[in-house]
Chains A and B, each alone.
Chain A
Amino acid sequence: GENVEQHPSTLSVQEGDSAVIKCTYSDSASNYFPWYKQELGKRPQLIIDIRSNVGEKKDQRIAVTLNKTAKHFSLHITETQPEDSAVYFCAASSGGGADGLTFGKGTHLIIQP
Chain B
Amino acid sequence: DIVMTQSPDSLAVSLGERATINCKSSQSVLYSSNNKNFLAWYQQKPRQPPKLLIYWASTRESGVPDRFSGSGSGTDFTLTISNLQAEDVAVYYCQQYFGGLPITFGQGTRLEIK
Partners in one complex: no
**Residues of A near any B CB (own CB < 8 A):** none
**Residues of B near any A CB (own CB < 8 A):** none
